[in-house]
Structure 1
Amino acid sequence: MLWDIDHTLVSIDGIGKDIYAEAFRLVTGQPMERVAAMAGRTDWAITVETLRMHGVEVSDRLLDSFGVALAEAFVVHEAAISGRGRVLAGVREVLDVLAGRADVIQSVLTGNMEPLAIGKLRAFGLEHFVDFEVGAYGMDHEDRAVLVGMAQKRAAQKYGESFTTHNTVLVGDTPNDILAGHLGGARVVAVATGSSDVRALKEAGADLVLEDLTDTDAVVRAVLVAADG
């Protein structure tokens, strides 16, 4: 089971843009005038587009430097996350129930680079529910769909089982999550806890759509039904 993080598990109240602004300043020495669209995208894609929007030529070396700067900027703003951000309703209860099941492995598939993903969940005491070793992250690849296969491969190597569309479920809040899941080889349970409503998520092709995660039993059923196909 692969969880998206932002607006699916937690909300950090716009701090993400502050982190990007700080990283941009560290790398370029200039103020960031605007940031690329962030919803459902990888840090890799957001970084590349943001730099190009400011007329900065992107290289592998610069991308690596920006990743380091994002991690440093996250540390600067980390204290504000738990104060200004919040765990979304029902999340802790769902994570807890699924963590107690022997037939479920929980990890993350997120646009966040790994240190940010871990830090965001740690800020709210959620980190012990998921296995970060078998997740996939926003600096692993620009294309979010590719991350699905990367997570499946990591889980197969660690747990000695095969993970395919038939037993991989991605939970996210955007049409980009749905597209990534279907292209990458996962079933998708979408939650209308971000900027996309139930109708938009259904039209995007989610296998199941929920208003939110407040009904623990319903969420668990949805995940298991999606996994069974």
Structure 2
Amino acid sequence: MQTDKKLVLWDIDHTLISLRGFGRMIYGEAFLSVTGQPMREAADLTMGGTDRAMSAEMLRSHGIADPTGALLESLGGALAEAFVRYEAGLGEYGGILAGAVDALTALAGRDDVIQSVLTGNMEPIAIGKLRAFGLDRYVDFAAGAYGMDHEDRPELVRMAQERAAVKYGGPFTGVNTVLIGDTPNDVRAGRLGGARVVAVATGSCDADMLRAAGADLILPDLADTEQVIAAVLGTAAR
């Protein structure tokens, strides 16, 4: 039986918050501590990749073999440790994007909406980023999926739907799942993973790029709360 609740999966970076240079910094520290060599080049942290995929690519691009995946797991742990060292001062690197608090608050007040996250960040970093800006109160992290869960972002949608179904009952499918993000990778995740996609042009990708990727609806930002709610509920015009 289809649940009457809608699962809303928020991307974090450049959708709810924006942090300048923070990701590259902690990746650099983590990479050095695990491999013993400086990070010569980082994966593109603005295009919606997962921490698992980006970490694996960085090892490969530096000529480091990891046949057992042990280095990948160590790099994930080092990323989490690096994040903890800087979490208290996260506000120095950026802040909450316009309209995010109002949108989260409005949706949190609805009995027919479950809010969680679908993010390339590993779980402790995702929780820490939202906690640092007081946004953690609005989402159920247990119903989300994270960047070390899988390299391929569409798989994260399926994982989040399964976790939400276990906790809230009833299946979550493309009919009652909405993904909100700012990159073509977010759009791809929803299209292939089974979610309707509301894209926001608040990151490095403009509306044309998001439209070409196949977003169901595109908003300039989250500033118009009524527009955001209508987009989530499926009552907004394309």
User: What amino acid is the match of 1:183?
Assistant: L
Distance in 2 of aligned mates of 1:117 and 1:76 = 15
Partner of 2:184: 175
**Residue 141 in 1 paired to residue 150 in 2?**
yes
Q: List structure 1 segments (4+ residues) > 3 angstroms apart after TM superposition.
A: none
Q: CA deviation at 1:226?
A: 7.0
Q: Secondary structure at the match of 1:106?
A: strand
**Residue 68 in 1 paired to residue 80 in 2?**
no
Distance in 1 of aligned mates of 2:235 and 2:162 = 20
Q: CA deviation at 1:30?
A: 1.3
Partner of 2:56: 48
Contact 1:187 1:226 in 2 (8 A): no
**Residue 195 in 1 paired to residue 204 in 2?**
yes
Normalized against structure 2, the TM-score is what?
0.93
User: Which blocks of at least 5 consecutive residues in structure 2 are unaligned?
Assistant: 1-7
User: Which blocks of at least 5 consecutive residues in structure 1 are unaligned?
Assistant: none
Partner of 1:84: 93
Distance in 1 of aligned mates of 2:112 and 2:196 = 17
Instruction: Report the aligned-residue RMSD.
Output: 1.3
Q: Residues 19-75 of structure 1, C-alpha deviation per residue, up to 9 Å, x if partnerless?
A: 100100110111111111222100000000011111111231111111110100111
Partner of 2:3: none
Normalized against structure 1, the TM-score is what?
0.97
Distance in 2 of aligned mates of 1:154 and 1:199 = 33
Q: CA deviation at 1:12?
A: 1.1
Q: Secondary structure at the match of 1:209?
A: strand
Mark the CA change 1:193 to 1:52 in structure 2 (over 3 Å): closer, same or farther.
Answer: same
Contact 2:21 2:93 in 1 (8 A): no
Partner of 1:124: 133
Contact 1:189 1:226 in 2 (8 A): no
| Farther-moved stretch of structure 1 (72-81 vs 38-47) | 72-81
Partner of 1:165: 174
> Which of 11, 14, 22 lines up with 2:18 in the alignment?
11
